[in-house]
Structure formats: structure tokens, C-alpha cells
């Protein structure tokens, strides 16, 4: 089929998927053929066209081949969001390898465990990562390690680490043909397991591309779209922004300064972005630590939120105070290659608190403890099926068997569906608090706490109780000081909740602890704090 014939098809990106066997790097190659001079990546000091990105990814694919990377071999990538990170991710896949993106730097919480687990053939890292993890049991165990920065320093060369830029000088920018099929692994994404130790989620090219296709469909993305990305590409939410815009030939604006919300707003305005994505803490930060009210964002047409439950009160606050753009509440999991459900903007006020309905190509059942389908309004576990669902965890048969079954992927999330099929979450299985004979969902209490005008962030976990076994305790960060905050917040909850759901205390923190690189609340740290508390029955 000629290039002209392809472009005459109803929608070229979807049609050419068939020619690329639904491969992640095929999305880049198709866009580079269709529109080589369109800008793919925008950074603070440079812009990169699809042609240039594809050529650099080809060079990295040739470097992988020179280092002995074969089909299915793992390639660790520990870089900040950047041209080099994107090219390394796609180049490893062009070589037939499996990309293993990880947070860079000395605070990376998964790199050492991931290296020991996936046994990579090659790694591309930044200077800080090489210096922090260069020992024999970590990066030193990898046959080939390249440092992306030119100023790696003599100690890194002495440690056997090569310069990426120097190595690429000898590599051709021409395509390298490697037989890959859509069921091959494209990436392993490390996420915390039920025990807290990292586990590698295996995601195929088909998983990623089918999920990206569905997201493109319901967001209505096209080549004219330009998304601002503050989310790391080492997690699937960030990767979904990359995949969807590669698919349609759009642009990704990389902004690594998410801790400075006014900088983010300025980037959105300067680059005239049409889309923005964030996790709940992203929106809390922008609502209460930025000049959002003065922001002029006439090109912004949509905003997406995922990466954890966002309280309905915070969603409504964004709708009232944020830019005039469609707001999509979404729900997903690493095991789903990002997305499982979305709530159309038109239903936000009609279905407050809902995570919406399944995306195209996904089916979700609510299954009770007895193993039957729940009735409308009845709580059960959400179990998902679809071509985007992972085959399981790398070298972890026990966890794979526990979470994946013929019924589908058991999310561990408890929720219910209403009469129209809209889904609502009540909490995670391990976040349920057993107060005597009652089971209490942390999310219900958190949603009430977020309706208090002084609350900026809130998280509820279990603490031990001599008589009841467990009781809820709240950790909050405040926008404005509150006299006797614990008493006031407990009274606020008591006005809305049954007595056994009212937190025993509310602990005020300057900020809630976050997981490194993800801006998600670190509930394990809060559970550890709560475990040191002890509450007794009132005589």
C-alpha cells in the first residue's frame, strides 16, 4: 500500500496500526513517516521533530544490538522525562528489547530491587543514578551501562560506565529491523505489591496500544493536540500521555518542575497546550499554592485526573475555580496499561464521586465475596478484562495467581455499580478498617474531610484499639490554621457519618508524605505512624 493510499483511509493512525502489528515503537515510526517535521517533544530549551526522535531511537536500537540485546532482553532506563528518555524507551523496543523505565537519582526506591529481579542486559541512566547505584549488586551487575550526561566524571568511566553520546556517534540512524509481534513484552513497570516489595508488571505492545487507542477515542485526540506532561514516564499514567500522542502525531510538552505550580501554569500558557493530566495532589497544589485564578489558558480543551481517588469536593472546586475545559475523572491500574474507566464531563455533576464506566474494549464486573455478580448498589471487588490487561508479574507466580484468574484482573478495589452501570469506589481491600463488627472504607471518611474548607489533603488509615481491634485515624494538611483541629474535624465528620466511622483523632501535618516521583500519598508511612498509636475503650 502506498503512503498516499494509507492517508486516504478513514483515519490513518488506526489503519496503519495493522501494518505495524500494534507495536509501541510503530506509533513513532508511523507518525515520523506521515509528518516528519511535526514537533513531537517540547522541552524548556529544545524541540524535537518526529523525524529526529525516530532517528535517535534508531541509533539507540543499534547500540542495544551492539551490546548483545536480543529479543526479550531487558533494558533499564533511569532518566528524567526528556528526549533521551523517550528515545531510549522506544529504541530498546525497536531492538526487540523490553524497556524497564525507573525513577532516576539517589532517592529512586525501586532501582536496586528491579535490577536484581529483571537481570537487565543494558542500562541507560543519568549521572546521579550512576553515582548512587554504581555498586556491584546494582548497576555494576549489568553488562553494559551508559550515562546520558556528557559530564559523567572520571570515576564513572573507571567504573566501566560508558558515555551515551560518545557511543551513539558510531551508531546508524537508519532503521534496524527486528522481528517483534504485538504479544511480546514492551515494558516491565515496577510497582509496589501487597507486601510493599516492588513487583514487575509485564505489559505487551498490544496492552499499551489497545489502551492508547481507547483513550484517543474518548478524548477525541488528534494531531493538533498538545499535552503538558508533569507525570514521569516511569509510570503508566505518564506513558499513556506519550503513547496517545505518538499515535495521533500530536506533541508532548515535558515539564519536570511539577513542584512549582506557577511554573506549570506558565508552561501551559506559553506552549498553548490543549491538554493537561494530573493526580489528585497535582490539582490540590494548583488550587491552593498557585495563581490559578489569573491563568489565561484559552487553548486548553480538556483535563484528565487519575492516579488515585480525587474527592468530589476537590473536583467541584476545580470546576468552579479552574480553567474552562472538560474535566475527565479516570480510573486505572498499572496492570491495565493505564486506563480502565472514565467519567464523561457531562456526567460530573449528575454522578458525583463516580469513576464512570469502562473504556472501549474493557469489561468490569463487581464480584462479591461469595463469588457472584453484585447487584446494583452492592459492594464487591472490581474485576477487569480486556486486551489492555497484563499477563501478570515478572518472575512472580504467586502474585500472578493471586491477582489474575479466568475472570480477569482482580484490582483489589472495592466498589459498586448503580442502576445505570456507573461505578463507585469505596476503598482498597487492604484499606478497609475493621471497627468491631463494622467494615469502614477509608475513602468515605476522606471525602467528608475534604468538604471542610480548611482541609488541603486528607488520608485515613487504621490504628489499633484495645476493644474494637481497629479504629480510623485521619492525617490532614491544612490550607488555613484551625484551632483544636482534631476536635473540629471529628465534629465535622460526626455531622455526616455514623459514629463508628468518625476518626478517633486527626493529626495535622505540614504535607502528607508522598511516594517518590508519583505525588501519591504514601499510605504505608501513615500506617506505620498509626501503628504506634493506641486507643482504649472509654470506661
Q: Find the CATH number of the domain harbouring 88.
A: 3.40.50.980
Q: What share of the chain is helix, strand, coil (3-state, %, to 5)?
A: 35, 25, 40
- Measure Cα distances from 482 to 472, 475, 476 in Å: 21, 14, 11
Q: What integer pLDDT is reported at residue 19 of this predicted model?
A: 45
Do 352 and 397 reside in the same domain of the chain?
Answer: yes
**In whole numbers, what is the pLDDT of the chain averaged over residues?**
91
Do 373 and 391 reside in the same domain of the chain?
Answer: yes
194-200 mean pLDDT: 72
Do 411 and 452 reside in the same domain of the chain?
Answer: no
- In this structure, of 15-29, 281-295, 407-421, the range with the lowest mean pLDDT score is 15-29
Do 174 and 233 reside in the same domain of the chain?
Answer: no
Residue 489: CATH number of its domain: 3.30.300.30
Q: Is the pLDDT of residue 3 over 50?
A: no
Do 227 and 368 reside in the same domain of the chain?
Answer: yes
Q: What tens digit of pLDDT does each residue of 48-72 get?
A: 999 999 999 999 999 999 999 999 9
Question: Does some domain include residue 247?
Answer: yes
- For strand 354-358 and strand 338-343, is the pairing parallel, antiparallel, or unpaired? antiparallel
Q: What integer pLDDT is reported at residue 17 of this predicted model?
A: 46
Do 170 and 254 reside in the same domain of the chain?
Answer: no
Banded pLDDT at 10 (limits 50, 70, 90): very low
Percent with pLDDT over 70 in the chain: 92
Q: What integer pLDDT is reported at residue 427 of this predicted model?
A: 83
**Which residue would you say has higher pLDDT here, 285 or 98?**
98
Question: Does some domain include residue 524?
Answer: yes
Residue 328: CATH number of its domain: 3.40.50.12780
Do 364 and 503 reside in the same domain of the chain?
Answer: no
Do 210 and 325 reside in the same domain of the chain?
Answer: yes
Question: Does some domain include residue 360?
Answer: yes
CB 248, CB 225: distance < 8 Å: yes
- Given 428, 459, 479, which residue is the final one in a domain? 428
Q: CB-side exposure of 344: number of CA atoms within 13 Å?
A: 10
Do 58 and 176 reside in the same domain of the chain?
Answer: yes
Do 479 and 504 reside in the same domain of the chain?
Answer: yes
Taking Cα atoms as reference points, which of 236, 265, 240, 235 lies closest to residue 252?
Answer: 240
Give me the long-range contacts of 483-489 (CB less than 8 A, separation at least 24): 485/454, 488/452, 489/449, 489/452, 489/455
- Given 406, 428, 450, which residue is the final one in a domain? 428
- Measure Cα distances from 348 to 7, 270, 414 in Å: 37, 29, 21
How many domains does the chain contain in total?
Answer: 3
Question: Does some domain include residue 24?
Answer: no
Do 406 and 452 reside in the same domain of the chain?
Answer: no
The β-bridge partners of 303 are 276, 327
Banded pLDDT at 429 (limits 50, 70, 90): confident
Question: Does some domain include residue 4?
Answer: no
Banded pLDDT at 36 (limits 50, 70, 90): very high
Question: Does some domain include residue 256?
Answer: yes
- Given 428, 451, 485, which residue is the final one in a domain? 428
Do 343 and 278 reside in the same domain of the chain?
Answer: yes
Q: What integer pLDDT is reported at residue 2 of this predicted model?
A: 38
Range of the domain at 93: 49-180
Q: What integer pLDDT is reported at residue 135 of this predicted model?
A: 81
Q: What integer pLDDT is reported at residue 150 of this predicted model?
A: 58
**Which residue would you say has higher pLDDT here, 13 or 193?**
193
Amino acid at each position: 500500500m502506498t503512503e498516499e493510499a494509507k492517508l486516504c483511509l478513514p483515519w490513518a493512525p488506526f489503519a496503519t496500526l495493522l501494518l505495524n502489528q500494534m507495536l509501541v515503537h510503530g506509533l513513532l515510526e508511523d507518525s515520523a513517516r506521515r509528518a516528519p517535521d511535526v514537533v513531537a517533544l517540547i522541552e524548556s530549551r529544545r524541540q524535537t521533530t518526529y523525524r529526529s526522535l525516530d532517528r535517535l531511537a534508531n541509533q539507540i536500537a543499534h547500540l542495544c544490538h551492539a551490546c548483545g540485546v536480543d529479543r526479550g532482553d531487558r533494558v533499564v532506563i533511569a532518566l528524567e522525562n526528556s528526549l533521551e528518555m523517550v528515545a531510549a524507551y522506544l529504541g530498546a523496543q525497536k531492538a526487540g528489547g523490553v524497556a524497564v523505565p525507573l525513577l532516576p537519582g539517589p532517592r529512586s526506591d525501586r532501582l536496586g530491587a528491579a535490577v536484581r529481579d529483571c537481570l537487565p542486559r543494558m542500562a541507560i541512566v543519568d549521572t546521579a543514578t550512576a553515582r548512587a547505584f554504581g555498586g556491584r549488586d546494582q548497576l555494576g551487575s549489568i553488562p553494559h551501562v551508559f550515562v546520558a550526561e556528557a559530564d559523567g566524571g572520571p570515576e564513572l568511566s573507571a567504573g566501566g560506565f560508558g558515555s551515551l553520546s560518545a557511543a551513539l556517534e558510531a551508531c546508524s540512524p537508519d532503521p534496524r529491523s527486528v522481528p517483534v509481534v504485538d504479544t511480546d513484552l514492551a515494558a516491565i513497570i515496577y510497582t509496589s505489591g501487597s507486601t510493599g516489595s516492588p513487583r514487575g508488571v509485564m505489559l505487551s505492545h498490544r496492552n499499551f496500544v489497545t489502551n492508547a487507542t481507547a483513550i484517543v477515542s474518548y478524548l477525541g485526540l488528534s494531531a493538533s493536540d498538545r499535552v503538558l506532561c508533569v507525570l514521569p514516564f516511569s509510570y503508566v499514567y505518564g506513558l499513556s500521555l506519550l503513547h496517545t500522542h505518538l499515535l495521533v502525531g500530536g506533541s508532548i510538552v515535558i515539564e519536570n518542575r511539577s513542584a512549582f505550580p506557577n511554573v506549570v501554569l506558565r508552561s501551559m500558557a506559553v506552549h498553548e497546550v490543549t491538554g493537561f493530566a494530573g493526580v489528585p495532589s497535582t490539582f490540590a497544589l494548583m488550587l491552593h499554592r498557585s495563581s490559578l485564578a489569573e491563568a489565561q489558558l484559552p487553548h486548553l480543551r480538556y483535563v484528565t485526573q487519575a492516579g488515585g481517588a480525587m474527592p468530589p469536593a476537590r473536583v467541584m472546586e476545580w470546576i468552579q475555580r479552574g480553567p474552562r475545559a472538560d474535566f475527565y475523572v479516570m480510573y486505572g491500574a498499572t496492570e491495565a496499561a493505564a486506563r480502565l474507566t472514565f467519567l464523561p464531563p457531562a456526567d460530573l455533576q449528575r454522578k458525583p464521586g463516580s469513576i464512570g464506566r469502562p473504556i472501549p474494549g474493557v469489561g468490569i464486573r463487581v464480584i462479591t465475596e461469595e463469588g457472584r455478580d453484585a447487584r446494583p448498589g452492592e459492594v464487591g471487588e472490581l474485576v477487569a478484562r480486556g486486551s489492555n490487561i497484563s499477563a501478570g508479574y515478572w518472575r512472580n507466580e504467586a502474585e500472578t495467581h493471586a491477582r489474575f484468574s479466568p475472570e480477569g484482573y482482580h484490582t483489589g478495589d472495592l466498589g459498586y455499580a448503580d442502576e445505570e452501570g456507573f461505578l463507585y469506589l469505596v476503598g482498597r481491600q487492604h484499606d478497609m478498617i475493621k471497627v468491631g463488627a463494622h467494615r469502614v472504607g477509608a475513602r468515605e471518611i476522606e471525602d467528608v474531610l475534604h468538604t471542610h474548607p480548611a482541609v488541603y489533603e486528607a488520608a485515613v488509615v487504621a490504628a489499633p484499639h484495645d476493644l474494637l481491634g481497629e479504629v480510623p485515624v485521619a492525617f490532614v494538611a491544612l490550607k488555613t490554621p484551625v484551632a483544636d483541629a482534631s476536635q473540629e474535624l471529628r465534629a465535622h465528620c460526626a455531622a455526616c457519618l455514623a459514629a463508628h466511622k468518625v476518626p478517633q483523632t486527626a493529626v495535622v501535618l505540614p504535607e502528607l508524605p508522598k511516594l517518590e516521583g508519583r505525588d501519591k500519598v504514601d499510605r504505608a508511612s501513615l500506617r506505620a505512624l498509626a501503628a504506634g498509636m493506641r486507643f482504649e475503650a472509654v470506661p
